[in-house]
């Protein structure tokens, strides 16, 4: 296992990261939809035209999955992250369509030292997924636990 490059101390409030973009194809959208969210507007481009969305759209869960991948590729796999208690907020604001180029913007909102374990701390993030028009299509807030580089005394 590769040693961590980033620890709890490296995520102060205001820390920011923006990923490169990832474009979703119609094939990726329908494959994900068939496997995980088989609603017609995720699985059938022709039938989706008659939906309220007027065409094929990605599942919101696929948008979250893309965000997670962008986070892992961008920084998370190089951290001392030891998990997350979950999301506090999740909103899908705009449909994601074939050809949309998604990118992730991570912002640290709060950093808290653990009261129970001096070797770890928690970071509260806001994650925004943006499309190629700089529109926020999904927003999430949640916490991640990290080991500390230097345990508190």
Q: Which fold has domain 8-147?
A: Thiol Ester Dehydrase; Chain A (3.10.129)
pLDDT at residue 152 greater than cutoff 80: no
Annotated domain spans of the chain: 8-147
15-45: pLDDT as tens digits:
999 999 999 999 999 999 999 999 999 999 9
Residue 1: predicted pLDDT: 60
Query: SS3 of 13, please?
Result: coil
According to DSSP, the residues that pair with 104 across neighbouring strands are: 129
**What mean pLDDT comes out for the span 82-109?**
98
Per-residue pLDDT tens over the stretch 55-93: 999 999 999 999 999 999 999 999 999 999 999 999 999
Instruction: Map 58-112 to HEC letters.
Output: CCHHHHHHHHHHHHHHHCHHHECECCCCEEEEEEECCCCCCCCEEEEEEEEEEEE
């Amino acid at each position: 296992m590769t040693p961590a490059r980033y620890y709890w101390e490296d995520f102060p409030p205001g820390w920011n990261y923006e990923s490169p973009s990832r474009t979703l194809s119609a094939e990726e959208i329908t494959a994900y939809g068939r496997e995980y969210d088989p609603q017609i507007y995720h699985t059938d481009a022709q039938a989706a035209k008659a939906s309220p969305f007027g065409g094929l759209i990605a599942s919101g869960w696929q948008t979250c999955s893309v965000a997670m991948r962008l986070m892992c590729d961008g920084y998370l796999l190089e951290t001392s992250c030891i998990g997350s208690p979950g999301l506090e907020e999740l909103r899908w604001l705009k449909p994601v369509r074939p050809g949309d180029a998604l990118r992730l913007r991570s912002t640290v909102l709060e950093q808290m030292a653990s009261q129970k374990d001096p070797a770890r701390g928690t970071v509260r993030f806001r994650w925004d997924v943006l499309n190629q028009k700089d529109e926020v299509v999904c927003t999430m807030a949640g916490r991640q636990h990290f080991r500390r580089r230097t345990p508190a005394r």
